[in-house]
């Protein structure tokens, strides 16, 4: 593992950065319940489309304060939604604040968050949306859903593709024929229509958790077939390698050989392919959300935050911070691609 990081850094500083950037994103969104100042559906009804809150160190009379503070923002002109700062009261930014109880991933309870300010002021790092909800908090919670969908989806695809392709390629014969015909049938359908028709098989009014698992399932069912085919091809060639013959001559079992000698030798390819395919899951979820078939309001995902923005293009010009979800999707996509490209070389044992 240590050597892996060394190799990654030596190979490409950029990809090394991408790796930690993605780790950072995943960790931050995982801990959304602690890091977000507001719950994702907490609304400031009198603050729709508020621009990002300014954080001050120096007050209007020129005094410096060690503790940063914000001012309450009041709507100046309800038609054009222009805001002004009410400088009569300072609201210091507080760290480790108490608030309504939240459940971290539905399990651990917490009523302390990393930071916040007293109401009626609000701290909106990335501004607010139509309902006066904090975009920063929603992006954190949305990231948790979008990013976890992608990871869980990739893991399911990986497992299905690996086992199906591995068994088909290694044992060959009738099993191979049956599995591959099945895979080909799945691959015949264009993935977008397959996604829609799979979604259409289920009712629209599912609970959010059901929708979450349904999306994971749909996306990974689409992803695994292509992977299975490629892995089968790789297994076909790897099983003819001399080290596989040597492993057999040591008296190892078929399963041992498949799992310890054949699969690992596909990893330099599969891990790269999977890394590059992660953004596809985020985008797949976004596409479903855009059609109103994905995660439903008030639950946030990067996909539905972005789609509610795109459905409301008029205001984007005045409130460009609404597009940040798109920026996040794009950033994650770029970084996964950079990382995937580097992994192709780093995982190749010939370069060790």
Partner 1 sequence: MEKILEIKNLSVIRKQKEKFVPVLNDINFSIEKDELFCLVGESGCGKTSLALSIMKLLPKSFTVKSGEIFVNGKNILAMDEQSIRSMRGREMSIIFQDPGAYLDPLFTIGVHMKEAFHGDTKQQQVLMTSALKEVGLEPYMLHSYPHQLSGGQQQRVMIAMALINKPSLVIADEPTTALDILTTYQIINLLDTIRKKYHPGMLFITHDLKLATKIGTRTGIMYNGYIVEIFIPGKTRPAHPYSSILMGTEYKYSRISEATLSWQSDICPFFEKCPERDSECEKQIAFTWYQDMTGIRCIKHGRNSQV
Contacts to partner 1 by CB under 8 A: 241-243, 245-253, 260-261, 264-265, 349-350, 352
SS3 206: coil
SS3 40: coil
C-alpha distances (whole Å) from 302 to each of 105, 146, 151, 246, 333 are 18, 6, 15, 50, 13
Closest separation between CB of residue 18 and partner 1, Å? Answer: 24
Select 83 or 267, whichever has its Cβ closest to partner 1: 267
Cα angle value 99/103/106 (rounded, 5°) = 165
**The two three-digit tokens of residue 222, written as one number:** 């689409």
The residue among 105 and 243 lying less far from partner 1, judged by its C-beta, is 243
Helices (H), the chain: 2-11, 13-30, 32-35, 135-171, 173-188, 191-200, 208-238, 242-249, 254-257, 267-290, 302-310, 313-316, 324-346
The residue (of 57 and 243) whose beta carbon lies closer to partner 1 is: 243
Q: In degrees rounded to 5, what are phi and psi of residue 131?
A: -95, 10
Using the minimum distance from each CB to partner 1, give the nearer residue, 35 or 252: 252
- From the CB of 266, what's the least distance to partner 1, in Å? 11
- Cβ-contact 187, 226 below 8 angstroms: yes
SS3 track for 166-199: HHHHHHCHHHHHHHHHHHHHHHHCCHHHHHHHHH
- Which pair of structure tokens corresponds to residue 216? 């994971």
| Closest distance of CB 342 from partner 1, Å | 19
Nearer to partner 1, 156 or 252 (CB): 252
> What is the smallest separation between the CB atom of 254 and partner 1, expressed in angstroms?
9
Closer Cβ to partner 1, 10 or 253, answer by number: 253
Q: Which residue has the tokens 């059609």?
A: 291
Residue 343 C-beta: closest distance to partner 1, Å: 15
Nearer to partner 1, 47 or 344 (CB): 344
Q: Could you tell me the smallest distance in angstroms from the CB atom of residue 345 to partner 1?
A: 15
User: CA-based Rg of the chain, rounded to a whole angstrom?
Assistant: 25
Shortest approach of partner 1 to residue 66 CB, angstroms? 53
């Amino acid at each position: 593992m240590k050597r892996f990081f060394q190799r990654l850094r030596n190979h490409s500083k950029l990809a090394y950065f991408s790796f930690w950037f993605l780790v950072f994103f995943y960790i931050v969104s995982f801990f959304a319940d602690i890091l977000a100042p507001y719950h994702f559906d907490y609304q400031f009804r009198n603050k729709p489309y508020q621009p990002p809150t300014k954080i001050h160190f120096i007050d209007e009379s020129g005094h410096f304060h060690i503790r940063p503070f914000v001012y309450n923002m009041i709507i100046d002109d309800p038609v054009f939604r222009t805001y002004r700062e009410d400088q009569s009261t300072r609201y210091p930014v507080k760290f480790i604040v108490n608030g309504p109880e939240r459940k971290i991933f539905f399990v651990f309870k917490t009523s302390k968050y990393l930071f916040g300010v007293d109401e009626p002021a609000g701290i909106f790092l990335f501004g607010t949306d139509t309902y006066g909800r904090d975009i920063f908090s929603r992006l954190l919670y949305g990231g948790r859903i979008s990013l976890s969908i992608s990871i869980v989806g990739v893991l399911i695809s990986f497992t299905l593709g690996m086992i199906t392709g591995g068994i088909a390629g290694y044992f060959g014969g009738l099993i191979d024929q049956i599995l591959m015909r099945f895979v080909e049938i799945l691959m015949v359908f264009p993935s977008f229509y397959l996604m829609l028709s799979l979604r259409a098989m289920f009712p629209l009014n599912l609970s959010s958790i059901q929708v979450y698992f349904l999306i994971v399932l749909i996306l990974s069912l689409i992803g695994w077939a292509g992977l299975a085919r490629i892995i089968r091809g790789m297994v076909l060639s790897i099983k003819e390698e001399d080290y596989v013959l040597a492993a057999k001559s040591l008296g190892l079992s078929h399963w041992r050989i498949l799992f310890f000698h054949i699969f690992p030798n596909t990893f330099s390819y599969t891990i790269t392919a999977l890394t590059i395919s992660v953004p596809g899951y985020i985008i797949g979820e976004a596409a479903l959300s855009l059609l109103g078939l994905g995660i439903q309001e008030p639950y946030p995902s990067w996909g539905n935050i972005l789609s509610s923005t795109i459905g409301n293009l008029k205001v984007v010009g005045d409130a460009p911070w609404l597009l940040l979800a798109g920026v996040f999707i794009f950033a994650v996509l770029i970084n996964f691609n950079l990382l995937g490209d580097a992994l192709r070389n780093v995982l190749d044992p010939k370069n060790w």
